[in-house]
A and B are shown apart, each in its own frame.
Chain A
């Protein structure tokens, strides 16, 4: 039951994008089409789950026992970066179409602060191994959900009469604000 709470908390109550403000760059960058948004979301979810396991092991079996928690940031970011490289090679072999569609954003998962931010939050929360992985899954699903919602609305917005200065990124921010307002309705749920 506790795992379920962690999952729901990460998806809705403390949505990584709309409430915690992590991963805003891909949120604004790849939310023009639902198809690429879904691909980006799934890739990020996968990276988050694997990095949840990886950083948990690193933190509690390497950094803590050797008294090196101050090296957390460089160690985490390097291991996440090399893992993303692996995912990229894997996608390139198995699904070249998706790889082309995600283009520049796949290497950018490394600098997606949602992934590193999630690892730091998970360590601060002192979650167990299983809890960490569920938390990572929830964070990824929440990211995908927010990305898909914004992409869906932005696709519809192409036919709307938006004032000239607000066109593009400006109106996307206002929409994200409204989405965030909707998500704040979930607070207190868990």
Chain B
């Protein structure tokens, strides 16, 4: 039981895909102009991650190792197409904002990385937990970056504005350069916190 919990929790902090492994960075920068967009993108990726981890883990004895990469791509592409079509039908506004980054889940390194490094070697249950942990780690990172950029850039949080309409905000953070700088400083912050934790233990 402890082992399974470890698979789940490692994605949240120690192996956090965004801040620690630094993979799957395109959506981290592109869709985090607001907290809600970050949350939506994170949950969409989590869904694809769990489904593809489970399916690849189930198929690990069937897939010949020479053609495993194309097989993983097909599995992941199937699930990201499902998310794309479902979002288009039921959440058209969010789908429009996230744009091509929903079909681009298929080339997100997190998915291929987990398929190759974890799901192809481990049991179905631990692969599902690994996918869930990694997905939620990705989601909280995206939501945090989105929230910071939204608060500073437009003075609102989850689309609730808390400053006067005429108030000046740091528009810089809503624009592409602000995304890079926010992520850079957050990574530095994570390094400081991790160093403190290491010293304490």
Which residues of B1-48 are within 8 A (CB) of A? 22-30
- Cβ–Cβ < 8 Å partners of B185 in chain A: 170, 174
The docked-state distance in angstroms from the alpha carbon of A112 to that of B23 is 11
Q: In the complex the two chains form, is A78's CB within 8 Å of B180's CB?
A: no
The docked-state distance in angstroms from the alpha carbon of A23 to that of B25 is 8
Q: Which of B24, B176, B191 contacts A184, CB < 8 Å?
A: B176
Task: Tell me what chain A mostly uses at the interface: helix, strand, loop, or mixed.
Answer: helix
The docked-state distance in angstroms from the alpha carbon of A74 to that of B74 is 6
Q: In the complex the two chains form, is B175's CB within 8 Å of A184's CB?
A: yes
Q: Which of B22, B108, B177, B187 contacts A113, CB < 8 Å?
A: B108
Which residues of B60-74 are within 8 A (CB) of A? 69-70, 73-74
Q: Which of A18, A107, A117, A176 contacts B104, CB < 8 Å?
A: A117
Q: Which of A70, A81, A169, A178 contacts B81, CB < 8 Å?
A: A70
Q: In the complex the two chains form, is B74's CB within 8 Å of A169's CB?
A: no
A89 at the interface (CB under 8 A from B): no
A77 at the interface (CB under 8 A from B): yes
| Count of B interface residues, CB-CB < 8 Å | 43
Task: Decide yes or no: A21 and B26 within 8 Å by CB, A72-B103, A113-B107 being known contacts.
Answer: yes
- Cβ–Cβ < 8 Å partners of B195 in chain A: 165
- Cβ–Cβ < 8 Å partners of B77 in chain A: 73-74, 77-78
Q: Which residue of A lies closest to B77 (CB)?
A: A74
A180 at the interface (CB under 8 A from B): yes
- Cβ–Cβ < 8 Å partners of B25 in chain A: 24-25, 28
The docked-state distance in angstroms from the alpha carbon of A108 to that of B100 is 20
Q: In the complex the two chains form, is A77's CB within 8 Å of B176's CB?
A: no
Q: Which of B27, B30, B70, B107 contacts A112, CB < 8 Å?
A: B107
Q: In the complex the two chains form, is A173's CB within 8 Å of B184's CB?
A: yes
Q: In the complex the two chains form, is B23's CB within 8 Å of A170's CB?
A: no
Q: Which residue of B lies closest to A108 (CB)?
A: B109
Task: Decide yes or no: A111 and B181 within 8 Å by CB, A74-B77, A117-B100 being known contacts.
Answer: no
A52: min CB distance to chain B, Å: 16
Q: In the complex the two chains form, is B107's CB within 8 Å of A120's CB?
A: no
- Cβ–Cβ < 8 Å partners of B103 in chain A: 72-73, 116, 120
Q: In the complex the two chains form, is A111's CB within 8 Å of B177's CB?
A: no
The docked-state distance in angstroms from the alpha carbon of A77 to that of B104 is 10
A177 at the interface (CB under 8 A from B): yes
Q: In the complex the two chains form, is A111's CB within 8 Å of B112's CB?
A: yes
A47 at the interface (CB under 8 A from B): no
B106 at the interface (CB under 8 A from A): yes
Type the 1/0 row for A110-124, where 1 means its CB is closer than 8 Å to any CB of B.
111101110011001
Given A24-B26, A177-B184, 14 more pairs with CB closer than 8 A: A22-B30, A28-B25, A71-B81, A73-B81, A78-B74, A81-B69, A111-B109, A116-B106, A117-B107, A121-B100, A169-B184, A176-B180, A177-B177, A184-B175
Could you pull out 14 A-B pairs where Cβ atoms are within 8 angstroms?
Answer: A21-B27, A21-B176, A21-B179, A23-B26, A70-B85, A73-B77, A74-B77, A107-B69, A110-B73, A111-B108, A165-B188, A169-B184, A177-B181, A184-B176
